[in-house]
């Protein structure tokens, strides 16, 4: 991963305090259908990347910030707004994934398998 981070990446650090694994699973359990497959797939990519021994400390901080942002119901666009409520979450998730070097085929496989369990 490039060591360069812009202001948006640094701002994600304020959401780290909202992340915990139990909170993440509760959010997914309660809102997966509202969020949709694409959002949940990207959440799972970050979750499994976080578990990887390939992830650097800086990448972990950015991942945790992005997952913390996802967990919060009130963010740039509140999650309760139908259709667009998770669009900001998706944008953050995708932006972070593009920064990472640890989202490999194994991480993608794990995310796809879990997604299939929940949506298929």
- 3 vs 63 pLDDT, higher one: 63
User: Per residue in 60-88, pLDDT tens?
Assistant: 999 999 999 999 888 788 888 877 889 99
Q: Exposure pattern of 63-90 as b/e (b: 16+ CB <10 Å)?
A: bbbbbbbbbbeebeeebeeeeebbebbb
Residue extents of the structural domains in the chain: 7-119
pLDDT tens-digit map of 11-42: 677 888 889 999 999 999 999 988 999 999 99
């Amino acid at each position: 991963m490039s060591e360069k981070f812009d202001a948006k990446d640094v701002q994600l650090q304020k959401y780290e305090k909202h992340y915990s694994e139990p909170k993440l699973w509760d959010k997914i359990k309660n809102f997966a259908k509202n969020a949709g497959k694409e959002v949940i797939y990207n959440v799972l990519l970050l979750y499994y990347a976080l578990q990887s021994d390939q992830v650097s400390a800086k990448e972990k901080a950015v991942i945790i910030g992005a997952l913390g942002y996802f967990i919060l119901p009130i963010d740039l666009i509140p999650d309760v707004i139908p259709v667009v409520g998770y669009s900001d979450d998706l944008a953050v998730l995708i932006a972070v994934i593009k920064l990472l070097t640890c989202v490999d085929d194994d991480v993608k496989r794990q995310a796809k398998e879990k997604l299939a369990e929940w949506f298929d």
